[in-house]
Amino acid sequence: MTQPNLLPRSRTISRFHSVRSATAELIQGLSAEDMVIQSMPDVSPTKWHLAHTTWFFETFVLEPFASNHRPYDPAFGYLFNSYYELVGRRHPRPQRGLLSRPPLEDVLEYRRVVDEATMRLVEDAPESIWPDLRTRIILGLHHEQQHQELLLMDVKHVLSSNPTKPAYRETPEPSSAQPKPLEWFRFEGGVWSFGHEGEGFCFDNELPRHERMVADVELADRLVTNAEFSAFIRDGGYRRPELWLSDGWAWVQEAGIEAPLYWGPEEDGSVSEYTLGGPVPLDPSSPVVHVSFYEADAYARWAGARLPTEFEWERAARHAPVEGNLLESRRIHPRPVPGGEGVRQLFGDVWELTQSPYMAYPGFRPLQGALGEYNGKFMANQFVLRGGSCATPASHIRATYRNFFYPHQRWAFQGFRLARDP
Amino acid sequence: MTQPNLLPRSRTISRFHSVRSATAELIQGLSAEDMVIQSMPDVSPTKWHLAHTTWFFETFVLEPFASNHRPYDPAFGYLFNSYYELVGRRHPRPQRGLLSRPPLEDVLEYRRVVDEATMRLVEDAPESIWPDLRTRIILGLHHEQQHQELLLMDVKHVLSSNPTKPAYRETPEPSSAQPKPLEWFRFEGGVWSFGHEGEGFCFDNELPRHERMVADVELADRLVTNAEFSAFIRDGGYRRPELWLSDGWAWVQEAGIEAPLYWGPEEDGSVSEYTLGGPVPLDPSSPVVHVSFYEADAYARWAGARLPTEFEWERAARHAPVEGNLLESRRIHPRPVPGGEGVRQLFGDVWELTQSPYMAYPGFRPLQGALGEYNGKFMANQFVLRGGSCATPASHIRATYRNFFYPHQRWAFQGFRLARDP
Amino acid sequence: MTQPNLLPRSRTISRFHSVRSATAELIQGLSAEDMVIQSMPDVSPTKWHLAHTTWFFETFVLEPFASNHRPYDPAFGYLFNSYYELVGRRHPRPQRGLLSRPPLEDVLEYRRVVDEATMRLVEDAPESIWPDLRTRIILGLHHEQQHQELLLMDVKHVLSSNPTKPAYRETPEPSSAQPKPLEWFRFEGGVWSFGHEGEGFCFDNELPRHERMVADVELADRLVTNAEFSAFIRDGGYRRPELWLSDGWAWVQEAGIEAPLYWGPEEDGSVSEYTLGGPVPLDPSSPVVHVSFYEADAYARWAGARLPTEFEWERAARHAPVEGNLLESRRIHPRPVPGGEGVRQLFGDVWELTQSPYMAYPGFRPLQGALGEYNGKFMANQFVLRGGSCATPASHIRATYRNFFYPHQRWAFQGFRLARDP
Amino acid sequence: MTQPNLLPRSRTISRFHSVRSATAELIQGLSAEDMVIQSMPDVSPTKWHLAHTTWFFETFVLEPFASNHRPYDPAFGYLFNSYYELVGRRHPRPQRGLLSRPPLEDVLEYRRVVDEATMRLVEDAPESIWPDLRTRIILGLHHEQQHQELLLMDVKHVLSSNPTKPAYRETPEPSSAQPKPLEWFRFEGGVWSFGHEGEGFCFDNELPRHERMVADVELADRLVTNAEFSAFIRDGGYRRPELWLSDGWAWVQEAGIEAPLYWGPEEDGSVSEYTLGGPVPLDPSSPVVHVSFYEADAYARWAGARLPTEFEWERAARHAPVEGNLLESRRIHPRPVPGGEGVRQLFGDVWELTQSPYMAYPGFRPLQGALGEYNGKFMANQFVLRGGSCATPASHIRATYRNFFYPHQRWAFQGFRLARDP
């Protein structure tokens, strides 16, 4: 998909250092104790993320490409494999929170050693293997960036599970912009091309680029806000079955859902929201975040609208600049839509829930070998999200990027935008 | 969608009697005891089906259209509502097997009384309401036909749960045709129309008719057979994670799945299959039946193919005659592909699993009121099946018909056909 | 334990007919549909009771004693074994409700055939085996009487699970006696003998007779009433953790317990209770029934008293006549304490919960072979109840009889009497 | 129960320092990461033990006795209350593993501050409150010693849950004594006194001292060994239902139990056992440890013996010196019976499972107020263990001490001794 051999190795080295050190920066302010906890099966401990992303380089870069490589620690292959069945047996996911050993310092040393070995490999590799090696390293760096966001999602869940509700770090004062009335923008239907093209990196699930017919659609110019979602709640939204998909209604009943994850109970007419900066009063103009597909779908039905398909979203985003409230803004929380015209907030703030089940594109081919498990085997029961969030690195996101979660999950930084048939 | 007022009422009356008595015929040979049992939450007791289909006419035909209607029994509204939240509270689904009362004779009397009142209503209704009334009755009859198939699926599960494996009724001797080598037929891609058109009945989920782009595809000329599926098993199919979707693999592990539902354990090199005629030796040439989406998907990956989309299937079936091994053949079990040329077994034998998630067509509008819950609220987490089965009435099926089940379910008469990219 | 050979065989035959026909009498008024349902894992269908008690005679009387015996139906050994591991594999208890086949008429025929064969055996057996044969038949009849009570407990649960709350049969009008103030009677402590003695039948768990030291105690002259238990509820009894054992409090929270089983919700200041005669207004003077050990224990703590030990109860009952509101009164519901003096209601009305864990007496020896599983293997985690109930046959109960249930169970006709330290 | 005012305060101060610093010593060698993990709901993190024992002094000593006391941190009352309902709401037990905050250093500071305040209180308290104050402090120290053992049990479970099986600390080389043939010693029955007497400390559940009749009994001179238990396993002990209580058999089946907790799988004919010193080869002469009541009971039945009652044990132990392999030996693992005559190993090595359900002694009175929840509310569904273990401080154990666990639990250092009827 790329022509990597035209690029100097130094650029790869530089990107490698940049991404790996960005991960290390994220643990500033966390104690070793914070980094060992798994607050639910979906969550992984911070320390596990640090080790697993390193295991990825060891397993998929050093092992196949570095002829003299010897495993750093044979136990690590078992402990830090996430879900690659073809690589071998692995520690059960729900038990990642039992790993006080190896201690944090060993994991950091593991990172250091694998980093060094990888950089040595980049410098010494014969030209014949460089293109493949480079491709694999770039994949490892995108994998690492995915885990930067997962790490933040998981830290948020871990700290929020503590009754004392500690902050992860100081974040910028939340803004207090006035919510703007929502506007609709129309997109013409027809046969259009979707999926990745060009030389840049993409995951296998963004390919092949293919044509697809979409209908005319109107998209909201911004994300749904806390104020709007609060109106849905006040109108009995969580108690009216006619607004919900059958599975969603069962979930609401069973799990006792009454508000987005991280919203506190209403006290004296006001609601607080747990953020990575600690609890803050709910900002009415900010996008609602940490709602499930079911909640977004019910809200849309209540509002007389619907969720967009992933293709309606991609068409709107195709020519938009990749900028917004991404990880680099260091807010780690969505912010109100900025002023301006047209469809905004496409990138950053929150992953946008779509009504599209996560399925293969026509002619999809997974990667060869164990890396074929990366994306393809999850193509059932999940829904596509688009656009990245306030926890997504800017260099990681693009218009064709497909994220996916189960319809009841909501610990990702995810929200939604409305669509409607013209 | 139809122009019902052009049709004489006598035709409706005749169809009503025909469908309702077909249901009654299905319980021949069952005891009252058989009809009260619920062998798993997905299953409903036979008696419940008899009552629920009658409740449907009482609630959606007599109540709104018959001005002098009084409820047959106020308790029945609670007991026999299936899932219509807007109609009111209802008896919990997993507790349908607790209803020894009302006894079978009361339920049969209920059917008689509602049948009479409905026919009286048809005869007496003023012309002004006749078109709407007729539309509603036709819906009720299609609903009844759906339950004819559900009733048979459920009876099969109930009787198979009995260690003595009793037969439901005598069925024709299974055939012993020689399996034919599979052939592939190519269909050209492009923009085509999908969904129901014309005056005949259809469900809301088959609309609106719309255009959609499909790619070139090759379809197998027949269904996958027991012999072929056995080869998958012998090749370790159920023990090789690389063949499975992640959720499918988790299901196989947890539920201890090793073969299609109703296959007995191998004894002396041969396997028996429970059918509604009792246990029989597995017929190698017959289509495999009672496999889940996950199993079909894994088989297809093993075979280097894939499942068709519901649109690929619909295109192939659009001009095929609606005939095959349907309920009227009284086999209630799939049979080997008949001789002939081209893509066969499209209708009947088994519902064909597709790779299409069950979602709304662009511009989908559910029915008004409680009947809007009929189809729309299930549009998440399920997959589409096409073509009807050996338990589907012939007058109930058509090329645009969309059935749907969760990917782990398999008590329906369901199997699959392979597709591949040219 | 007995000298059976001194008794004529005709007396055994007469008792056999009397007990077996009493079981048959209990199903009058039930439909075959009623008899197939299992409303919770603890409950067995009526038809299963009819078959299992017959299986007991076939397995433990005909098989070992009738030389020419051939199994009535080989499948029945699997279907109707309750819990005898040594007899062989068996149908799982929670799936007893799946057995529509064999139909009721076959089970009744099974009873007839086994009855005949048993009576023929009694008539023809050589004198040498008669004592052992008689002992085994008497055990079978006591087993049958246990199941008469279980059958009624289970029918009550099955019918109460039906939203229409049907009656099992007409029962005598509930009385409306005035509740009498409770009086206490003192019993001296010391070393006393406990357990069965003499020639009559007893179960292995009532032996050996042994000495035991008991302290001075005061026992209430009657059972705790609905009025008294209602006062406990009104005083917040179910919401005050300090009144409960830790496990009891966990059970109350998890299972959402707020009142005895079968009490309806309070409506307009009055509460109804489901009885085998259908729902009736709660009678304040009748003993509270269908409370668990945990509830009885919490009530006693609230009342400044405690539950008696099984030995305190046995001492009080040792010389009391075995009479009261037992099965033969055909009320199948407890009634208010009759007039009189002294400790009353010892037998009948409700099984009396004691604070005694169900354990072996010193020197306990279970029966030989599979029948050793009858009582001994349940000696952990259960509590002893004494005195029989309104569903216990009079000829089945005695002062040394030990019934036992888990501390959370309450579908037996069970209540309690208070004790206190002087 | 004691006459504390006769003792100088300095002795209390000295004992306080001794016990509290013994706790602190136990965490040597553990990292902060180790101390935050909860490997199952029964287990508490080490850090939680450190805080909870301190909370106990703050709540039950400083709050009521120190007039100027102000809560160290209001959140701690919620976080570190174990199960005292009357003290207020508390953090759910299964979520103790989510508490990365407060960090370890804050908890250690909490200990320091409460220690200082307690010592200041001892020095300054007026004579009038000293006796009560002293009684409360002594209770707090015994509570602390209980948690020293719990802490070790829990650390063992936490570290064993790590696939790398790390050691807690170096422990003395396991001995390799020759197993001695078991001998039996007879104890005469009769009426004897049981329960605590005299001035020393005891828990409320050891009172009142009372008379009780016990039968003649023979007790084994030593604990059951690994070699003996291995013979039970080789003889199919875990696969023979006739050896098990019904609930025990269900547990074995459901939980897939095949050996004591911490035994590794057999490899090349030898078995390893995880100890706090890491995995070691199973020592045949050492007492079997980490077996449940169910396993001990099944073994005893297999061996033609039974478990002793707690009273049979107490009689044997009443005059034995309190010495043996206790915490102070620093082995933290049982060792083979030492040479000598008579009934040995009564104290230390392993808690001895008895057949006695944990119930109140006649006339039992729990402590007043919230401390009444200490022991009494657990008197159902548990069994008594006697004698202390290799993780019990010597100054904490005595012949009348009653420990208790559920019959399926086995993470305590628990084993058993056989008894039999003469």
Distance from the Cα of C83 to chain D's closest Cα (Å) equals 9
Residue A184 burial class via C-beta count within 10 angstroms: exposed 0-12, middle 13-18, buried 19 and up: middle
Q: Are B155 and B168 in contact (CB under 8 A)?
A: yes
Selection from C305, C318, C309 nearest residue C347 by Cα: C318
Q: What band does B173 get if pLDDT is binned at 50, 70 and 90? A: confident
D318: pLDDT strictly greater than 50:
yes
Query: Cβ contact (<8 Å) for B166 and C101?
Result: yes
B178: pLDDT strictly greater than 80:
no
3-class secondary structure for A185-251? EEECCEEEEECCCCCCCCCHHHCCCEEEEECCEEEECCCCEHHHHHHHHHCCHHHCHHHCCHHHHHH
List the Cα angle D171/D176/D177 in 5-degree steps: 125
β-pair partners for B279: B274
Q: Which of A242, A247, A355 sits opposite B85 (nearest CB)?
A: A242
B293: closest chain A residue by CA: A380
Strands A272-275 and A278-281: antiparallel
Q: What is the reported pLDDT for A8?
A: 83
Q: What is the reported pLDDT for D4?
A: 47
Q: What is the reported pLDDT for B6?
A: 52
Q: Which of C294, C357, C378 sits opposite D246 (nearest CB)?
A: C378
Give how far Cα A347 sits from Cα of A145, C284, C292, Å.
Answer: 16, 69, 59
Average pLDDT over residues D190-212: 96
Tens of pLDDT, residue by residue over B75-100, are 999 999 998 988 889 999 999 999 99
Cis amide bond preceding A126, omega within 30 = no
Q: Are C121 and C241 in contact (CB under 8 A)?
A: no
Query: Cβ contact (<8 Å) for B407 and A241?
Result: no
Q: What is the reported pLDDT for A174?
A: 67
Tens of pLDDT, residue by residue over D393-415, are 999 999 999 999 999 999 999 99
Strands A383-386 and A403-405: antiparallel
Ranges of beta strands (E only) in C311-399 are 351-357, 383-386
Q: Which residues of C touch B162 (CB under 8 A)?
A: 98-101
Q: Which of C33, C98, C101 sits opposite B100 (nearest CB)?
A: C33
Q: What is the reported pLDDT for B2?
A: 45
Tokens describing residue C235: 């005083």
In single-letter form, the type of residue at position D385 comes to L
Q: Which of C210, C241, C407 sits opposite D85 (nearest CB)?
A: C241
Q: How many CB pairs under 8 A join C and D?
A: 76
A309: closest chain B residue by CA: B362
Query: Cβ contact (<8 Å) for B100 and C164?
Result: no
CA–CA dist A321, B227 (Å, integer) = 55
Chain D residues bordering chain A (beta-carbon distance below 8 Å)? 31-37, 39, 47, 75, 78-79, 91, 95, 97-104, 158-159, 161-164, 166
Selection from C151, C143, C6 nearest residue C61 by Cα: C143
Q: Spell out the residues 6+ positions from residue A148 whose beta carbon is closer than 8 angstroms to its own.
A: A22, A23, A26, A327, A391, A393
Q: Which residues of D touch C247 (CB under 8 A)?
A: 378, 380-381
- In this predicted complex, what is the ipTM? 0.95
pLDDT, tens digit only, all 422 positions of chain A = 444 455 689 999 999 999 999 999 999 999 999 999 999 999 999 999 999 999 999 999 999 999 999 999 999 999 999 989 888 889 999 999 999 999 999 999 999 999 999 999 999 999 999 999 999 999 999 999 999 999 999 999 999 999 999 999 998 876 667 767 899 999 999 999 999 999 899 999 999 999 999 999 999 999 999 999 999 999 999 999 999 999 999 999 999 999 999 999 888 889 999 999 999 999 999 999 999 999 999 999 999 999 999 999 999 999 999 999 999 999 999 999 998 889 999 999 999 999 999 999 999 999 888 898 888 999 999 999 999 999 999 999 999 999 999 999 999 999 999 999 99
D5: pLDDT strictly greater than 70:
no
D309: closest chain C residue by CA: C362
Q: What is the reported pLDDT for A398?
A: 98
Q: Are A382 and A406 in contact (CB under 8 A)?
A: yes
Identify the helix (H) or strand (E) that includes residue B234. helix B226-234
What subunits make at least 3 CB pairs under 8 angstroms with B? Answer: A, C
CA–CA dist B82, B101 (Å, integer) = 17
C422: closest chain D residue by CA: D363
Q: Spell out the residues 6+ positions from residue C253 whose beta carbon is closer than 8 angstroms to its own.
A: none
Query: Cβ contact (<8 Å) for A162 and D101?
Result: yes
Tens of pLDDT, residue by residue over A62-91, are 999 999 999 999 999 999 999 898 888 899
Q: Are C23 and C151 in contact (CB under 8 A)?
A: yes
Tens of pLDDT, residue by residue over B1-50, are 444 455 689 999 999 999 999 999 999 999 999 999 999 999 999 999 99
Q: Are A332 and A172 in contact (CB under 8 A)?
A: no
- Max intra-chain CA distance, chain C: 68
Low-confidence ranges of chain C (pLDDT < 50): 1-4
Selection from A177, A332, A328, A330 nearest residue A262 by Cα: A332
Q: Do chains C and A touch (3 or more CB pairs under 8 A)?
A: no
Q: Do chains A and D touch (3 or more CB pairs under 8 A)?
A: yes
In single-letter form, the type of residue at position D163 comes to P
Query: Cβ contact (<8 Å) for A381 and B215?
Result: no
Query: Cβ contact (<8 Å) for C245 and D378?
Result: yes
Q: Are D408 and D382 in contact (CB under 8 A)?
A: no
D173: pLDDT strictly greater than 60:
yes
Give how far Cα B65 sits from Cα of B122, B141, B202, Å.
Answer: 10, 16, 22
Residue C265 burial class via C-beta count within 10 angstroms: exposed 0-12, middle 13-18, buried 19 and up: exposed
Mean pLDDT of chain B: 95
More confident of the two residues B267 and D80: D80
Mutate to test the interface with C, among D188, D209, D246, D420 (most CBs of C within 10 A): D246
D78: closest chain A residue by CA: A163
Residue D396 DSSP one-character state = G
Tens of pLDDT, residue by residue over B180-227, are 789 999 999 999 999 999 989 999 999 999 999 999 999 999 999 999
Q: What is the reported pLDDT for A7?
A: 66
Residue C59 DSSP one-character state = I
Selection from D234, D261, D251 nearest residue D350 by Cα: D261
Mean pLDDT of chain D: 95
CA quadruple A106, A107, A109, A113: dihedral positive or negative?
Answer: positive
Q: What is the reported pLDDT for D378?
A: 96
